[in-house]
Chain A
Amino acid sequence: MQPKKATRREFLRMSGLAVAGMAMATCAQPAPAPIQAPAAPAATSVPPTAAPAVKKPVTIQWWTVPSEEFSEEAQRKLVDAFHAAQNDVRVEISVLPENGFSEKMTTTLGAGEGAPDVSFFWTDAWLPQALDLAPWIARDKFDTGQYIKGFFDTHSQYKGTTVTLPLGVGANFVMYNVKVFDEAKVPYPDMSPDATEWLQMIVKLNDPAKKRWGGDRPRGPYRAIWLNFGARMYSDDGKTVEGYLNGPGSVAAYEWLWDLVQTNATPTPADIELLGTQGTGPVDLFMAGRLATATLNQGHMLNAMKAGLPFGIVREPGPTGKPRHVNSWSLAVGIWKGTKEPEAAWTFLKFWAGPEGQKFLMENGNLFPSIRSVLNQYPKADLPHVKAFFQILEDNPVRAITVRGWSNSGILNAVKDLWDNINLGKIKREEIKPALDKAVPAAQKALDEARAKVGL
């Protein structure tokens, strides 16, 4: 928080208190809700004990999804716990299917009506419809410093202010199947595996007779492995593609992918899709013992633990000696700008994503909290793979480099054919650099357009 802003808010809060009585008198009428004005929170910041007899509980809508980390049951219990803790706010929970949640959310936000008071805001494009939380954070002296720093910075900010809170942490990492390694008599991989040695290793683990592969393929460029190679889509100022998209790091990463495909020790896209659509292929193959190593996440780790499968966790491969990156995330949760009950929504939001809620979901579900002090109490923190997971969380987040407030999809479109060609085995290794050079003009145009669209 910039101190300058805080003082300004402090001032507004004082003046807000002055009009508090007036606001109280009119609060029965449906105000056109200039919610962002700090006067509103100030007006309702009168302690609830002031008038318990007349205050009716306010009901808010909460939309959520079930997950490996927070089951429907755990979330219903969370609501019960919240109701037990206070009497002012009632929460109506809607547990929606994950598949389709985005369409539903987009539709209601687009209609400007019917959106939930509190929900996930995990798509950046929704953020303009998220309520500015800064006034509430300032008023309640809500400690945002308790969140693991990288996650708060990369998941909560929009146009210079805080619009969401980060719930839980997650990351991609490589899981390896201990049984398969033992059987193939291959030593377990290093915590930070070398990219070249990785290729030799997966070849040893490969066994066509058993329809078993040594490893899987990355699901897209410019993620952890690419960044490990030093690849970038564009310059650090976000303006130039030339020399980055086709720079040495980028070329090296694509060449590594080419080598990986040529090992024939990875399932083809057809294989992956056969065994589970929607990106679930790798986990299904891994759990069936048919992928010796796979890039998975903490949700899969929980499943493997539940199934009693022996496994270990290491970083995604990269060239030795260069800094490692991790594709990590948190779930952004926030309040809809159009809410009629911002105060009640905030009360619930800070419970859900605050220490109480995250601790509750950790203990009653499987959430890995995004709050350091709570994460430290994780019951199984001593298990080696949990330790490894926590260690990997400290790496440089991919998101901090690639998410820049505009859409990169146009740039990725420019290199999509190269990606497909490498995966299909339809391109020579030495053609990679020329192909990247050729993609530069289209990528530069896409970058310029994407920037212009967000007013840069």
Chain B
Amino acid sequence: MTTAAHEAPIRTPLLSRRWRLFLGHSLAYLVMSALAFVFMVPLFWMLSTSLKSRWEVFAWPPQWIPVPAHWENFRLIFERVPLWRYAGNTVILVIGNLIGQLFAVPLVAYAFARLRFPGRNTLFFLMIATMMIPYQVTMIPLFTIFQRLGLVNTYVPLILPAFFGGPFFIFLMHQYIKTLPRDLDDAARIDGAGTWAILYQIILPLCRPPMTIVVVYTFWFTWNDFLHPLIYLNDISKFTIQLGLAMFRGRFDVEWNLLMAATLLAVLPLLIVYFFAQRHLIGGIASVGLKG
């Protein structure tokens, strides 16, 4: 597998080498296509459901390609729930969270990974330990704090925490920075660079992969968050996309066709972001070509 991953200069007899590569790739395609097919089946089913009428959804035998296709479901969902507005609101939250995480995460992770200070290991473990406490039991006290600050029904409780840095992201970034040779810092320090200059001019440019992950994950978590917007927002005009999706579920039943149509549309931005972001995973020390 790793052979194929790195197109190393060809040394062995030409044909056999090529054949091996070809066979390897064909096998990889086969395995991935089979897996991808299984992964896609539910997606086909969702698409099929979203094109059915209200009560056709569970008819037997199941119709994979509904005739006629009810494309108007994709129009109806916008009439039923102001999805554009909710998507816009969610984008505001995503941007806020991105700014917050991109500000805090490198700073905190760098300090934990590179700077020596008393209590560092304890504090680092404490940070990770905060991920271990189930939110169910801290939710009410946290709500009380934001309520007393008069911030309920604003976006502040949904954005502010990002400016403190997500423990998971800090951990991730910390692990990554520790794979970068310390010689880089030392060389820069000899050249007279200060601590923060090293972070922003030497380390951060090498951290494109983990920063990409922070972006992708922040987008994902914020876009899909249901509980926090639900708890902190009262005003329907401030709602987010996930709260909008929940509106397709009534007290007694679910409009599956509309829910599936809306869910499909809602997941698209996440896939697009991922599709383009993954190209930025390459980078870091490997591309610089420094000796490890």
Q: Check A-B contact in the complex, CB < 8 A.
A: yes
Chain A residues near B (Cβ < 8 Å): 61, 63, 65-69, 94-100, 103-104, 107-108, 110-114, 116, 210-212, 275-276, 278, 280, 283-285, 287-290, 297, 299-300, 303, 307, 309
Contact of A61 with B58 in the complex, beta carbons under 8 Å: no
B198 to chain A, nearest CB (A): 44
Q: Which residues of A contact B61 (CB under 8 A)?
A: 211
Given A100-B226, A104-B230, 19 new contacts (CB under 8 A): A67-B250, A68-B252, A96-B230, A97-B243, A99-B249, A100-B227, A103-B230, A103-B231, A108-B147, A111-B144, A116-B234, A276-B256, A283-B252, A284-B256, A288-B56, A297-B252, A299-B251, A300-B252, A303-B252
Looking across the interface, which residue of chain A has its beta carbon closest to that of B60?
A211
Q: Which residues of A contact B144 (CB under 8 A)?
A: 111-113
Partner of A108 from the list B58, B143, B251 (CB cut-off 8 Å) is B143
Contact of A283 with B59 in the complex, beta carbons under 8 Å: no
Which 10 A-B pairs have CB atoms at the shortest separation, nearest pair first?
A97-B246, A299-B252, A288-B58, A211-B60, A111-B144, A110-B140, A113-B147, A67-B251, A114-B147, A280-B253
Contact of B55 with A307 in the complex, beta carbons under 8 Å: yes
A367 and B284 CA atoms in complex are apart in Å by 62
Partner of A107 from the list B56, B143, B253, B256 (CB cut-off 8 Å) is B143
Scoring B residues 49 to 64 as 1 if CB is less than 8 Å from chain A, else 0, what string do you get? Answer: 0000011111111000
Give the B interface residue count (CB, 8 A): 33
Query: Is residue B46 within 8 Å, beta carbon to beta carbon, of the partner chain?
Result: no
Contact of A283 with B147 in the complex, beta carbons under 8 Å: no
Partner of B60 from the list A103, A210, A278, A280 (CB cut-off 8 Å) is A210
Q: Which residues of A contact B247 (CB under 8 A)?
A: 66, 97
Contact of B236 with A95 in the complex, beta carbons under 8 Å: yes
Q: Which residues of A contact B246 (CB under 8 A)?
A: 97-100
Q: Which residues of A contact B254 (CB under 8 A)?
A: 276, 278, 280
Contact of B60 with A114 in the complex, beta carbons under 8 Å: no
Can you sample 8 A-B contacts with CB below 8 Å?
A67-B250, A94-B234, A94-B236, A97-B247, A100-B230, A104-B230, A107-B231, A212-B60
Q: A94-B234, A103-B231 are in contact. Are A300 and B253 (CB under 8 A)?
A: yes
Contact of B148 with A113 in the complex, beta carbons under 8 Å: yes
Q: A68-B251, A95-B236, A280-B254 are in contact. Are A287 and B55 (CB under 8 A)?
A: yes
Q: Which residues of B contact A69 (CB under 8 A)?
A: 251
A287 and B56 CA atoms in complex are apart in Å by 9
A65 and B139 CA atoms in complex are apart in Å by 22
Contact of A307 with B54 in the complex, beta carbons under 8 Å: yes
Partner of B253 from the list A110, A111, A284, A288 (CB cut-off 8 Å) is A284
Looking across the interface, which residue of chain B has its beta carbon closest to that of A115?
B147
- Which residues B236-285 have CB closer than 8 A to chain A? 236, 243, 246-247, 249-254, 256
B94 to chain A, nearest CB (A): 20
Q: A94-B235, A100-B246, A288-B55 are in contact. Are A111 and B251 (CB under 8 A)?
A: no
Q: Which residues of A contact B235 (CB under 8 A)?
A: 94
Query: Is residue B152 within 8 Å, beta carbon to beta carbon, of the partner chain?
Result: yes
Q: A97-B246, A111-B147, A113-B148 are in contact. Are A61 and B253 (CB under 8 A)?
A: no
B17 to chain A, nearest CB (A): 50
Q: Which residues of B contact A288 (CB under 8 A)?
A: 55-60
Q: Which residues of B contact A98 (CB under 8 A)?
A: 246, 249-251
A276 and B259 CA atoms in complex are apart in Å by 12
A247 and B144 CA atoms in complex are apart in Å by 48
Looking across the interface, which residue of chain B has its beta carbon closest to that of A70?
B251
Q: Which residues of B contact A94 (CB under 8 A)?
A: 234-236
A111 and B143 CA atoms in complex are apart in Å by 7
Contact of B234 with A103 in the complex, beta carbons under 8 Å: no
A80 to chain B, nearest CB (A): 16
Q: Which residues of B contact A99 (CB under 8 A)?
A: 246, 249
Contact of A66 with B250 in the complex, beta carbons under 8 Å: yes
A271 to chain B, nearest CB (A): 11
Q: Which residues of B contact A307 (CB under 8 A)?
A: 54-55
Scoring B residues 209 to 234 as 1 if CB is less than 8 Å from chain A, else 0, what string do you get? Answer: 00000000000000000110011001
